[in-house]
Amino acid sequence: MFTKAALNIIEQAISDQGILASSEKKDNYARVWSRDSMMTGITGILIKNQMIIDGLEKSIKTLANYQAENGQVPSNVYGDKASYGTLVGRTDATIWWIIGACEYMIYTKDESLKETLKDKIYKAFSCLKTWEFNQRGLLYSPLGGNWADEYVTSGYVLYDNVLRYWALKNAAEVYQDENLKSLAETTKKLIENNFRKNNSDEPKYHPTAYQKANGKYYLWASLNANGYDERFDLAGNALAILLGFDLDLDGFTQFLEQLNTEFQHWMLPVFYPIIFPKDADWNLLENNYSYNFKNEPYQFHNGGSWPIYLGWLCLGLRKRGYNEIPEKIVSQYEKLLSEKGSSFKEYYSTDKLIPSGTDQLCFSASGYLLMKI
């Protein structure tokens, strides 16, 4: 029942330019967003839905047409207008475009598109290289520089760097490029050596901060000049698990069980712990928005639960042989869809499980389909 509803939402969101963020087609969601359209399109590949795959092709080409002179791919395109970010640029938009384009070419074996996009993909990688700023291998993102655009993470962010690894790995496969393959392996090692406590004798990005950081069962959210942000970033960890990063998965799943015990449900928070007005990081939240403030405790990025990233988590855990928690997450989400309507809202508050944000969102519909794979 919910699978059909999810597919209907995505299929209604496919336009001549590509996959829109929401089938409601309102506000800035009636645009081809790089991260939204690529995640939705990759979901289409995984479930072999040709209509969604065709929508992905349109999205890839639309975004490519508006690539900036420095290689940056737009955050979104609407008509003949492209946006590269508002308060700051979006690092993940360029990376998701590479990932999605390569996933499409790997699946379709489209040799013509492969040649057409080659220069654009390498130009995008050149742009990402400049965003290291120190030529040491990890991508640096400004505050608000990725999907969590009103949140507090910045610097060498786990999520963005895991995505870059995926992009390098995919492009290496498409173009049979040994240099990109080597860069992918180096990037993976850098993340594994710098975002968790480990026994490696490899030099650390920030040795002082690394020594002071506390060991966790997950990869830390970000590293900055002033130290580590040891928060749990569900999106970054979910993608790392999917992509085969070295992680103590028994310990990680125990941590997820602890979150379930604390919140009393399986709609797990996308960032944890929650930031409250009394906390030092509140000042990084309270002015970081474009339209209205959404990051009250347990809401939006500040502890809200996003089905899209729970979907990637379920897919990753299943791929690694951990099926129990994905079943619990799917069961919880289906229960909420039954009780509170199957309109696939953007996120749920984690204190009261109230569906919030934009309605009929391809992000959330895709998240459900990923949970069911």
Assign 1 a pLDDT band (cuts: 50, 70, 90): confident
Name the domain boundary from 72, 91, 110.
91
CA angle 191, 195, 199 (to 5 degrees): 90
Express each pLDDT in 169-208 by its tens digit.
Answer: 999 999 999 999 999 999 999 999 999 999 899 999 999 9
Q: Are residues 73 and 98 in the same domain?
A: no
**109: CB partners within 8 A, 6+ apart:** none
Q: Is 227 exposed, middle or buried (0-12, 13-18, 19+ CB in 10 A)?
A: middle
Name the domain boundary from 91, 115, 146.
91
Average of pLDDT values for 365-370?
A: 98
Q: Are residues 205 and 258 in the same domain?
A: yes
Count of domains forming the chain: 2
**What is the domain range of residue 204?**
92-372
Q: Are residues 328 and 360 in the same domain?
A: yes
Assign 86 a pLDDT band (cuts: 50, 70, 90): confident
E strand or H helix that includes residue 76: strand 76-78
Q: Are residues 78 and 190 in the same domain?
A: no
Query: Rounded distance, CA 209 to CA 253, Å?
Result: 26
pLDDT at res. 93:
98
Express each pLDDT in 94-119 by its tens digit.
Answer: 999 999 999 999 999 999 999 999 99
Name 22's bridge partners: 361
Where is average pLDDT lowest: 46-60, 109-123, 211-225, 336-350? Answer: 336-350
Is residue 27's pLDDT more than 80?
no
- End-to-end CA separation in angstroms for the chain: 15
Is residue 280's pLDDT more than 90?
yes
Average pLDDT, the chain: 97
Name the domain boundary from 91, 116, 146.
91
